Amino acid sequence: MEECISIFDMLKIGVGPSSSHTLGPWRAAEGFLEELRETNNLENVHFIKVDLYGSLSLTGIGHATDLAVMLGLSGQDPEIIPVENIDKIINVIKDNNQLLLGNKFKIPFFYKEDIKFNKNFLPFHANGITFTASFLDNTEYSSTFFSIGGGFVVKEERINAKKKHAIKCAFPYPTQNAKDLLDYCTAQNRSISEVVYENEKSMRSEETIHTELMRIWDTMLECMYIGCHSEGILPGGLNVRRRAFDMHQNLIGLSNYSNPQEWLECIRKTEVKFRQILKWVSCFALAVNEVNAALGRVVTAPTNGSAGVIPAVLMYYLVIENHNAGEKEIKQFLIVAGEIGSIFKKGSTISAAMGGCQAEIGVSSAMAAAALCELMGGTPAQVQMAAEIAMEHHLGLTCDPIGGLVQIPCIERNTMGAIKAINAAELALETDAKNAKVPLDKVVDTMWQTAKDMNSKYKETSEGGLALAVNFADC
C-alpha cells in the first residue's frame, strides 16, 4: 500500500514556537499518557522523568520543549488550550513542584531535575524523547518517541519499518511522489486540488473537509490579525522587537474595522503599488511568526517555524490578486499546499533537525508557490514546476537559530519564503512546462541528499552559523 498523508496531517493547529520541538514533544507526552491509560496505570504513577536527546536538548529551552512536555503531561490540548493560560499552568507546576497528571492526578514534579537535557543523539532521528514513569509498587515503564517534524511523532519500535512512518489508508489516488500525482491529473483530466479532494473524501465527509479547512484558514487569519495588532518585545532574552505592528500601522492608515474579516476587506481598499505589495506580504508573514515566537496559536505549514509563508501568500491572493475570492479559493489553495507538503515529507523531510531550514522554509515556499499557481490558472504540470522553482532556490538553507529561539533569522525567513513563492508561481505560469529541465521529484531527492550531506552544526543544534557567530551579549 502506498504512503497516504492527509492534508490535515500537513496543516495542524498548535502552539508555537516549534512544531518539532514544541508541538511534537507535547503530542509525545499526550501519547505517553494514553499508553498509561491503556494499561490502567495512570492513577498508580508516583513520579515521571523525562529525557530529551539531541536537538531537543540542544535547543529545547529556546523552543519551550520543557514547557510543552509539562503541558502535555498535564493533559492540555495544544489545539484548544487558551494561550493566555499557559504561563499560569507552568507557574503552578514550578511554584508547587507538583503536576496534575492527565489533568486528574497530582504527582510531585521538580522540573529542573525531572526533565533532563542529554546532548547525545539517539539513533534514527535527532529529536528523541524518553518518558519514564515510576509506580507506587516500585516498578517502572519507559517509552521513547521521536518528533520527526511538522508535529509528527513516531514510536521507537517503528524505527526499522521498511517504509517511512505515516498514516496508512486507502486513497483512490495514492501518491508516493509528484509523478504519481501528475499521472492521475492527466488520466482523470483533473486539477491537483480535484484529485486530492477525492482522496480526502475517502477519509471524511465533504462537510467535515469544508469545516476543517475553514477552521485552519480562520486560525491563520486570526494569527495574522493578532500579529499585526500586537507590539512589544518577544520573549526569550534576545529583546527582539515586534515589527509587524509598525509596518501594519503605516500600511493600513486610518481604516476602521472590528474583526479579522472586516480587516481583510479594508486591506483590499489600500494602495497596491509594488512596494506596498512587498510590504503587505512581509507584514503578514512577520505577524504570524511573531505570534509563533510568543507561544501563540498558529497552523503548522508544514512547521511552526515556517508557519507564516502559506497564510501570507494566500492573503496576498485574497487582498491583491482576486477581491472576489472566497471559501472556494481558500480551500483550493490549502488542498494543493497540503499535498505538495506531503510529497516532500514522503520523499525527503520537513524537519530542520534532519535537513536544515530548507526542510521548513523551502518546503513551505514550494507549497505556497504550487497553491498560488493553481489559483492563478496554472496546469498541474505548471503547479509542480512552481513548487520545484521555489525549492530549487532554497536548497542548502541552514537552520542556525540564535539562542535556539525561533526568532533570528527564522521570522524574517518567512517573508523571503513568501516572496519567493509568489515569484516562483509567476515564473511557472509564464513557462511551457514541457520545457522544464528539473522535475519536482528530482528536486525533492536533491533536497534529501543535501540534507544528508549537511553538517549537523546547521541542523537546529545552535552549534554553527549565526547561532555561533552571534550571542546574547551581542543582542
pLDDT at 167: 44
Question: How many CB atoms within 10 Å of residue 80?
Answer: 8
The DSSP call for residue 464 is: S
State pLDDT tens for residues 325-340.
999 999 999 999 999 9
Are 308 and 418 contacting, i.e. CB atoms less than 8 angstroms apart? yes
Provide the strand spans (E) within 96-255: 98-101, 105-108, 115-118, 127-135, 140-149, 152-155
For residue 124, the model assigns a pLDDT of 82
Cβ-contact 421, 393 below 8 angstroms? no
pLDDT at residue 157 in the model: 54
Q: What is the pLDDT of residue 163?
A: 42
Chain centroid offset of residue 267 CA: 26
At residue 413, the 3 state secondary structure works out as helix
Q: What is the DSSP letter of 240?
A: P
Which SS3 state, helix, strand or coil, does residue 353 take?
A: helix
Extract the C-alpha cell encoding 50: 523525562
Low-confidence stretches of the chain (pLDDT beneath 70): 1-3, 156-169, 471-475
Dump strand ranges (E) for 58-119: 98-101, 105-108, 115-118
For 53, 289, 298, the CA distances from 17, given in Å and listed in that order, are 19, 8, 9
pTM: 0.91
Q: What's the rounded Cα separation, in Å, for the pair 339 and 275?
A: 31
Residue 74 is predicted with a pLDDT of 97
- pLDDT reported for residue 471: 67
58, 125 contact by CB (below 8 A): no
Q: What is the C-alpha to C-alpha distance for residues 246 and 137, in angstroms, rounded to an integer?
A: 59
Residues with Cβ within 8 Å of 54's Cβ and at least 6 positions away in sequence, in order, are: 118, 119, 120, 121, 122, 125, 126, 127, 128, 353, 461
> What pLDDT does 196 receive?
98
- Predicted local distance difference test score (pLDDT) of residue 49: 97
Question: What's the confidence (pLDDT) of residue 169?
Answer: 62
CA 85 to CA 67: how far, in whole Å? 12
